[in-house]
Amino acid sequence: MREIVLDTETTGFEPTEGHRIVEIGAVELFNHLPTGKTYHQYINPERLMPKEAFDVHGLGDDFLKDKPLFAAIGQAFLDFVADAQLVIHNAAFDMKFLNFELQRAGLPTLPNSRATDTLLIARRKFPGSPASLDALCRRFGVDNSAREKHGALLDSEILAEIYLELVGGRQPDFALATADKNKSSGASGTHTDWRPRPRPVALPSRLTEAEAAAHAAFVAKLGDAAVWLKRG
């Protein structure tokens, strides 16, 4: 299964108000494994950069003025994406901008059904907890120390790690797929005797200090008979 983890940077929030894409970054996964293939492109938005947007991603008018227009790179972007499923954090935002730019350039648009939204996955999995990219980095122990400002390619690389944790851990089906392949081909090796084993390094706790404090306060209200106070 081929997936493209994708992020964009823009001049603002609404393409219908004249805002445009200024950067696209994407990372290719195959069967939940990074292939090493990426797509990265800066884009001239044909307008001035608002200060609020510049403060987020640091892409200014002087830097972008000699970059290609979206119409010049749109087909190359579609060629990279091909028919892969897209993995995007807050997919509705990026999809509306991508489809606005594609339509403006006279190119085929991308169906929203092709987008897997990691923001929605995180909110379902951890209701009531922060679900920003930085919050999920803290939850899963993903290194985001290089993320001084938003950047489409760096954010895509970080999101790829987070996505694999959200769907069950990094390389969730790698060992099983290898075992099946070796078994079917008659290849020798230990993969045919694969068994799940503990992680060599345990993941950091996914329970935040605030969540732990809230639980302790809840248990305290239940009195001495609370089941959490009992030890088997």
For the chain, give every domain's residue range.
2-166
The angle, 0 to 180 degrees and rounded to 10, between the axes of the packed helices 152-166 and 133-140 is 50
Tell me the mean pLDDT in the region 40-44.
98
2-166: CATH topology: Nucleotidyltransferase; domain 5 (3.30.420)
The predicted structure's pLDDT at residue 178:
40
Model confidence, pTM:
0.73
The predicted structure's pLDDT at residue 210:
79
Tell me the mean pLDDT in the region 208-232.
70
The active-site residue out of 40, 150, 191, 215 is 150
Q: What is the pLDDT of residues 123-135, one digit of tens each?
A: 999 999 999 999 9
Please indicate whether residue 150 is annotated as part of the active site: yes
Long-range contacts of 120-127 (CB under 8 A, 24+ apart): 120/91, 121/166, 121/167, 122/166, 125/166, 126/206
